[in-house]
Amino acid sequence: MSSRTLLACVCFCLLIASPSLAQPRIGGLGSVLIFPVFKGTGNTTTLVTVTNTNQSEVLCGNGFREGDVEVRFTYVDAGTCLQMDRQESLSPADTITVSPSQHIPGLGEGYLVIEALDPETFLPIDFDFLLGSAQILDTSAQTKFTYLAYGFEAPSNQGAFGSDSCGRDFVDVPASGHFGTIDFNGAEYDFFPDSILLDHFGGEGSPPSVPAATFSNRLWLMTTGGAAPEAFNLLGWNNNEVRFSSVSQSSCASDTTLGSISLSTNQSILSTGGDPGELFGIASGWLTLTSNNPSVGILGVFSQTISVGPRVHRSGRTLQVSGTRTVSLGRP
């Protein structure tokens, strides 16, 4: 074998042995789904939908079908960071919509983790067929918006932990009867993003060029660090590349505004050095958020409201992702 051929073989073996460098997919299929926010307080209600896109009716040796899956809903309370879970059985091509405050009575606000399990053993499996979205409804303002869940795939481990009766790889094995953590390390599940990005926002307040309009927003963040406050960096630019930055904190799950993190996001400051010829003179920008702790991940959802007299328009979306980092989340 020539040295060139040997080098090519070595490079190929390293490539297939290396863990995936995949990020979560917004609105994508996965074995784990993460919803950064649910709210069931006051006049606000959340509807969470999880769909099993596997349509296989092929029977396995244990009586279950290849498309059958058990789904664990792990709700994390924003105030206490305590976990509460429920399980639901999804048949092939099945879908379920739940209200968190009814799924677990008394639950208020926080974030939600969905994990695919073998319906026979309840062990986590490689089942990249789950799809999710959430609607947040405000009955007092008569507004709603929909956002898409983050989908994390389970890279194939070639049965390193064994397989269920349908031949689907187990993702993890229990230690002393408990699974411990969900590891987003490119081997168990896709990595967490290193940063999350908001591609556009309108500055808070009323633009002088459109005084009848008022811009406001909400930013929901979930962090994997638990109840202890974790610092994160905000780095942003207005629509003429003028940069601003700020440092803030979040623990577990937070409900805040951009203005509470940085005053540079309001109309008057954001317009300084901006381009008055863009978007009718309405100050706008974009930003990134990054946890200062390299072992803590952050995900988020943003909502923008524009009010013009009695008319209210509200939109929302999942924040985009950039880079990768290894983090872990505790299981119930």
Which CATH number is 101's domain given? 2.60.290.11
Q: Please report whether residue 34 resides in a domain.
A: yes
**Reported pTM:** 0.92
Q: Please report whether residue 149 resides in a domain.
A: yes
Label residue 331 by pLDDT band (50, 70, 90): confident
Q: Please report whether residue 282 resides in a domain.
A: yes
Q: Quote the CA–CA distance of 24 and 155 in Å, as a whole number.
A: 12
128 pLDDT higher than 70: yes
Mean pLDDT in residue range 112-125: 95
Cβ neighbours of residue 63 closer than 8 Å, sequence gap 6 or more: none
User: The domain containing residue 49 runs over which residues?
Assistant: 20-184
pLDDT at 271: 95
pLDDT at 14: 39
Q: Are residues 36 and 163 in the same domain?
A: yes
Q: Quote the CA–CA distance of 224 and 296 in Å, as a whole number.
A: 5
pLDDT at 216: 95
Mean pLDDT in residue range 14-35: 78
Mean pLDDT in residue range 299-314: 94
Label residue 61 by pLDDT band (50, 70, 90): confident
Which neighbouring-strand residues pair with 170? Answer: 125
Q: Are residues 255 and 168 in the same domain?
A: no
7 pLDDT higher than 50: no
Q: Are residues 149 and 210 in the same domain?
A: no
Name the pairing type of β-strands 243-250 and 32-39: unpaired
pLDDT at 43: 87
Q: Please report whether residue 161 resides in a domain.
A: yes
Label residue 175 by pLDDT band (50, 70, 90): low
Q: Could you give the 3-state DSSP secondary structure of residue 258?
A: helix
Q: Are residues 254 and 201 in the same domain?
A: yes
Label residue 173 by pLDDT band (50, 70, 90): low
Q: Please report whether residue 214 resides in a domain.
A: yes
Q: Greater confidence, 327 or 21? A: 327
Burial of 49 from C-beta contacts in 10 A (0-12 / 13-18 / 19+): middle
Buried b (16+ CB within 10 A) or exposed e, 118-156: bbbeebbbbbbbbbbbbebbbeeeebbbebbbbbbbbbe
Mean pLDDT in residue range 147-151: 98
Q: Are residues 295 and 206 in the same domain?
A: yes
Query: Is 78 within 8 Å of 108 (Cβ atoms)?
Result: yes
Q: Please report whether residue 14 resides in a domain.
A: no
- Kindly report, residue by residue over 87-106, the tens digit of the pLDDT: 999 999 999 999 999 999 98
Query: Domain ends where: 184, 217, 234?
Result: 184
Query: Domain ends where: 184, 217, 239?
Result: 184
The 8-class DSSP code of residue 158 comes to T
Q: Are residues 93 and 209 in the same domain?
A: no
Mean pLDDT in residue range 36-57: 94
pLDDT at 172: 78
- Kindly report, residue by residue over 188-239, the tens digit of the pLDDT: 999 999 999 999 999 999 999 999 999 999 999 999 988 889 999 999 999 9
Query: Is 76 within 8 Å of 253 (Cβ atoms)?
Result: yes
Q: What are phi and psi of 114, to 5 degrees?
A: -110, 135
Q: Are residues 26 and 138 in the same domain?
A: yes
User: Is residue 119 left, alpha or beta, with left meaning phi > 0 and alpha meaning psi from -120 to 50?
Assistant: alpha
Q: Quote the CA–CA distance of 295 and 18 in Å, as a whole number.
A: 20
74 pLDDT higher than 60: yes
pLDDT at 146: 96
55 pLDDT higher than 70: yes
Q: Greater confidence, 296 or 15? A: 296
**Number of residues assigned to the chain:** 332
Burial of 31 from C-beta contacts in 10 A (0-12 / 13-18 / 19+): buried
Q: Are residues 60 and 109 in the same domain?
A: yes
Label residue 21 by pLDDT band (50, 70, 90): low
Least confident of 67-76, 159-168, 194-203: 159-168
Query: Is 49 within 8 Å of 96 (Cβ atoms)?
Result: yes
Q: Quote the CA–CA distance of 46 and 184 in Å, as a whole number.
A: 26
- What six digits make up the tokens of 109? 């606000």
15 pLDDT higher than 50: no
Query: Is 19 within 8 Å of 320 (Cβ atoms)?
Result: no
- What six digits make up the tokens of 192? 């967490």
pLDDT at 140: 77
pLDDT at 270: 96
Buried b (16+ CB within 10 A) or exposed e, 165-195: bbebbbbbeeeeeebeebbbbbbbbbbbbbb
Q: Quote the CA–CA distance of 320 and 300 in Å, as a whole number.
A: 9
pLDDT at 179: 62
Q: Are residues 208 and 164 in the same domain?
A: no
Q: Please report whether residue 1 resides in a domain.
A: no
Q: Are residues 155 and 84 in the same domain?
A: yes
Mean pLDDT in residue range 50-73: 96
Q: Please report whether residue 263 resides in a domain.
A: yes
Total structural domains within the chain: 2
Helix (DSSP H) and strand (DSSP E) numbers for the chain: 4, 21
Q: Are residues 152 and 285 in the same domain?
A: no
Q: Are residues 40 and 153 in the same domain?
A: yes
Query: Domain ends where: 184, 215, 243?
Result: 184
- If you average pLDDT over every residue of the chain, what do you get? 90
